[in-house]
Amino acid sequence: MIYLTTDTPEGMRVMKTLGLVNGSTVRARHIGRDIMAGLRGIVGGEVTEYTKLLAESRQQALQRLELRATEMGANAVIGLRFGTSMIMGGAAEILAYGTAVVLEEKAGA
């Protein structure tokens, strides 16, 4: 699967546009991570507990997007974006979305 944040892939052409595709996950904070993050907030620095949680969430949303795009017959997703929203205190949704397409290399590219 090819992921592009652009809408016009260089050296490729869109053979077929299959439509909007997305993948999401809702994650809640973990009390253990909250305690460590709180301590880190006192001394400063990167809150690695949340960095790891968000990276895992983005990866899971991307995997779900890929599954849906593959089911549609796509070999690429263009215009890929990520979004987030609060669901409730301590829980957030991570959303990956874009346009599922079939790409082909341009002749001579």
- Write out pLDDT tens, residues 61-81: 999 999 999 999 999 999 999
Inter-axis angle of helices 31-43 and 48-72, nearest 10? 130
Output the pLDDT for position 53: 82
Output the pLDDT for position 85: 87
In the block, tokens 């009390």 appear at 31
CATH of 2-29+56-105, one of 3.50.50.60, 3.40.50.2300, 3.30.70.3270, 3.30.110.70: 3.30.110.70
Low-confidence ranges of the chain (pLDDT < 50): none
d(CA 98, CA 22): 7
Q: What tokens were used for 92?
A: 């957030």
DSSP per residue, 61-109: HHHHHHHHHHHHT-SEEEEEEEEEEEEETTEEEEEEEEEEEEEEEPTT-
Cβ–Cβ under 8 Å, residues 106 and 12: yes
